[in-house]
Structure 1
Amino acid sequence: MLDISQIISDYGPWAIFMLVLIEDFGVPVPGETALISAALLASQGKLPIAWLLPAAWLGAVIGDNIGYAIGRLGGRRLVLRYGARVGITDERLGRVERFFARRGGVIVVVARFFVGLRQLNGIVAGIGCMAAPRFVLYNALGAALWVGLWGFGTYWFGEHFSKALKTFGPTALYIAAGLAGAAVLGYIVWWCWRRRRRPSNLS
């Protein structure tokens, strides 16, 4: 089993580049988890964020393009024949293909945020013969959004959380978290109450 924290500590941005790259052409490794962990370390000053984010983006773009090439050159039959070793089944592939049949370009962007879709979207785009320039464009955009959310977003949150902890202490943060949780719970209760009343208002 991979010790992600140790790999990140030993190899830094290079580890993120390789893990994300490998995950993005179908191999089930925890690339997203590694990116989040590395971004948290960067927020503590243990990794250079200026190298981490480009490394993750390049890994994502190159990995998906490798997947695209596999799908384009190998075809569905070859992908299923050898992909079973890394969890690419006919059922999973078919599910992603149905998504692509509706809106391929949008799926390339959005798929990156979902486990399963992220690993297969390049392969399916290749099998479906999506035009290479179009795939590269949407893939680069999706990778940038994904790295922005899980890389920079985690870094920003971690950095500000550490500062808030030093400034206000843990008690104030627990109170803030409790208030936020109460607000979310209150909204859910209000939404459910409103939904239950709606049929009676229509009758």
Structure 2
Amino acid sequence: MFDVQHWLVSLPPIAVYLLVAGVIGVESMGVPLPGEIVLVSSALLAATGVVEPEWVATAAAAGAIVGDSIGYAVGRRGGRPLLARLGRRFPRHLGPAQLARAEQSFARHGVWAVFFGRFVALLRILAGPLAGALHVPYRRFLVANAAGGLVWAFGTTYLLFTVGRAAEHWLKDISWAGLVLAVLAGLASTWWLRRRAHRLEAAEPAQSTEPAGSAEPEPAQSTEPAESAERAKSAEPVQSAEPAESATPTPAPDGDPPLSVGPALDVEPAPVPGAAPARTGRNR
């Protein structure tokens, strides 16, 4: 950081402002660059009077808002294939694991991931392209992006500017030990926002691995209807298998022919040729 600060001293103020806006803007498009280091160095440089803190903060906020908006447009146009290509190009910063974590942040927290992502290195790089690839409404994205960019840029700049001015005053009386304490105090003031952002990230894996609700077991089908049917079937009267009485007469004992059960018919014997007809009661 001190090498960067020494290099910034050799530049004119307008070049410092443009450098701050450019580096932070390109970083916000999805390219891993040390945007925060440039902002911190410029803010500490403002404490020495070389540059103005309000212009440093304005340049940082403008770069963050414009860069995120360009990254949003690129992500919306390129979609997930673009994120995959960025992951192959920058596997350390934008690998599959980092992309999955950032995507879980958006799925869990929505546009709040854009606001708090400005204070986290990973989400600060991916907020714009990922929001575009996930088709987050641009108006909502712009509000969260602008709010996060302004708070981050002006808060960081004026915090470090104040710490730097105090450190310069303390160095006259307290030596380098006071500078160390001043820097620690300044860093502690940004701890809460970073801690909040990391808590949001840590909550995502727990939510993604939350077990799905187990389906209620289907009640076992009752066998009572089948058993009732079996009992009813067994209780039915057994029909006699004996056949009905046959109309055929039962043969008489001792080999006699069966007796006819029909009415007796008067059958006249056939006349014998040459014989006189037999007298009957009718001829008398």
Normalising by structure 2, report the TM-score: 0.57
1:76 is displaced (CA, Å) by 0.5
Corresponding position: 1:130 with 2:141:
no
User: Does the CA-based 8 Å contact 2:9-2:50 persist in structure 1?
Assistant: no
Total equivalences in the alignment: 177
Cα 1:9–1:83 change in 2 (3 A) is farther
Of 60, 76, 84, the residue aligned with 2:64 is: 60
Corresponding position: 1:106 with 2:109:
no
User: Does the CA-based 8 Å contact 1:61-1:139 persist in structure 2?
Assistant: yes
Bigger fraction of residues in helix: 1
Cα 1:7–1:164 change in 2 (3 A) is closer
Worse-superposed segment, 39-48 or 146-155:
146-155
Cα 1:81–1:49 change in 2 (3 A) is same
Paired with 1:8 and 1:92, the residues of 2 have a C-alpha distance of 35
Paired with 1:20 and 1:130, the residues of 2 have a C-alpha distance of 22
Correspondence for 2:121: 115
Cα 1:58–1:102 change in 2 (3 A) is same
Bigger relative CO (Cα 8 Å, ≥ 6 apart)? 1
Correspondence for 1:169: 174
Cα 1:82–1:116 change in 2 (3 A) is closer
User: Does the CA-based 8 Å contact 1:64-1:139 persist in structure 2?
Assistant: yes
Identify unmatched segments of 5+ residues in structure 1. Answer: 185-203
User: Does the CA-based 8 Å contact 2:9-2:45 persist in structure 1?
Assistant: no
3-state SS of 1:46 partner: coil
Identify unmatched segments of 5+ residues in structure 2. Answer: 189-284
Normalising by structure 1, report the TM-score: 0.78
User: Does the CA-based 8 Å contact 1:104-1:125 persist in structure 2?
Assistant: no
3-state SS of 1:113 partner: coil
Q: Deviations over 1:104-162 (max 9, x none)?
A: 11111101111111100111111111110110010000011111332111111111221
Q: Deviations over 1:167-194 (max 9, x none)?
A: x3328838x94xx99xx9xxxxxxxxxx
User: Does the CA-based 8 Å contact 1:19-1:29 persist in structure 2?
Assistant: yes
Paired with 2:177 and 2:105, the residues of 1 have a C-alpha distance of 45
Correspondence for 1:145: 151
Cα 1:171–1:98 change in 2 (3 A) is closer
Cα 1:43–1:91 change in 2 (3 A) is same
Paired with 1:69 and 1:4, the residues of 2 have a C-alpha distance of 31
Q: Deviations over 1:70-91 (max 9, x none)?
A: 1111101123125532443232
Correspondence for 2:41: 37
Correspondence for 2:164: 158
User: Does the CA-based 8 Å contact 2:8-2:42 persist in structure 1?
Assistant: no
User: Does the CA-based 8 Å contact 1:8-1:34 persist in structure 2?
Assistant: no
Return the letter of the residue paired with 2:29: F
Cα 1:96–1:173 change in 2 (3 A) is same
Cα 1:8–1:57 change in 2 (3 A) is farther
Return the letter of the residue paired with 1:39: A
In angstroms, what is the RMSD of aligned CA positions?
2.6
Cα 1:159–1:7 change in 2 (3 A) is closer
